[in-house]
Amino acid sequence: MRPGSVIVDLAVEQGGNVEGAVVGEIVERHGVTIVGHRNVAGRLPADASALFSRNLYNFLSTFWDKETGRPVLDAEIGDAVRLTKDGQVVNARLLGA
């Protein structure tokens, strides 16, 4: 591998698939970084939650009026993304389904 490459050994706890991987450590061999995190699957939900919350914030901030501190949902795109209002379904796609 070229120097600067990164390898993540997903099976490091079961003996590993990458020579030089060390359980629970990040090591460098010949300029290549080898990641040997324990329980990689257990680390992913936090990253996924952070990504989801960032995406949701960016999406909703498009419809937020900072001066009034209220959402602005009367724009064309607001009408397209609004599903319900006052307990009633208002989305044309859902009404047509």
pLDDT tens across 41-60, in order? Answer: 788 788 888 999 999 999 88
The answer to whether residue 77 scores a pLDDT higher than 80 is no
Name the residue with higher pLDDT: 97 or 4: 4
Q: What is the pLDDT of residue 45?
A: 81
51: Cβ contacts below 8 Å, ≥ 6 apart: none
Q: Give CA–CA dist 38/67, Å, rounded.
A: 47
- DSSP at 32: E
Most confident of 36-40, 44-48, 89-93: 36-40
Q: What is the pLDDT of residue 97?
A: 63
Mean predicted lDDT score pLDDT of the chain: 90
Q: Taking the domains of the chain in order of start, what are their residue ranges? A: 1-61, 65-97
Q: What is the pLDDT of residue 73?
A: 75
CA neighbours closer than 13 Å in the CB half-sphere of residue 32? 15
Q: Give CA–CA dist 79/2, Å, rounded.
A: 51
Residue 83 tokens, joined: 């599903």
